[in-house]
Amino acid sequence: MTMANGQKFLVAATDLQATALKAAIRCQIETLSFWKHRCEQNIKLIDDLFAGGEFADVFDVSSNFLQNATSDYAIEASNLARVGSRLTSDMARRVRREAESAIEDMAASTVA
C-alpha cells in the first residue's frame, strides 16, 4: 500500500507543477498581449504627432495618449489580479482534493 501512496503523491505533485506551469504561461500570454497593444499605441502616438506633414497639437495628442495609457494599465492590473486570483483558487482546490484523497487512502490502508 505504501508504494501506491508514494506513486499517488508523485502524480499529485506532478499535476500541481503542470498546473503552475500552465498558470505562468497564461500570465505571460496576457502580459505579452498587453505589451503588443501598448506598442501599437506608441506607434499611433508617433503617427498622430506627425500626421499630414504638420505638427498636431502636442498637448491634446499627448494628453489623450496618457489618458488611454493610464486606463489600459489600470485595466491590465485588474485583469492580472483576476487571473492570479482564479489560478490561486484553482490550485488551492486541487491541493485540498489531493490531501483529502491521500488521507482517505491512508485511513483505508490502516483499517484493512
Query: Which tens digits make up the pLDDT trace of 20-57?
Result: 888 889 889 989 999 999 999 999 999 888 876 666 68
Neighbours of 49 (CB within 10 A): 14
- The single-letter DSSP state of residue 56 is -
So what's the pLDDT on residue 29? 92
Cα angle 33-51-55, degrees, rounded to a multiple of 5: 120
Per-domain boundaries in the chain: 2-111
Per-residue DSSP letters for 43-66?
HHHHHHHTGGGS---HHHHHHHHH
3-state helix, strand, coil in the chain (%, to 5): 95, 0, 5
pTM beyond 0.85: no
Q: What whole-number percentage of the chain has pLDDT above 90?
A: 31
- Span 69-74, mean pLDDT? 96
Q: Which residue has the higher pLDDT, 101 or 85?
A: 85
Interhelix angle 58-111/2-49, nearest 10 degrees: 180
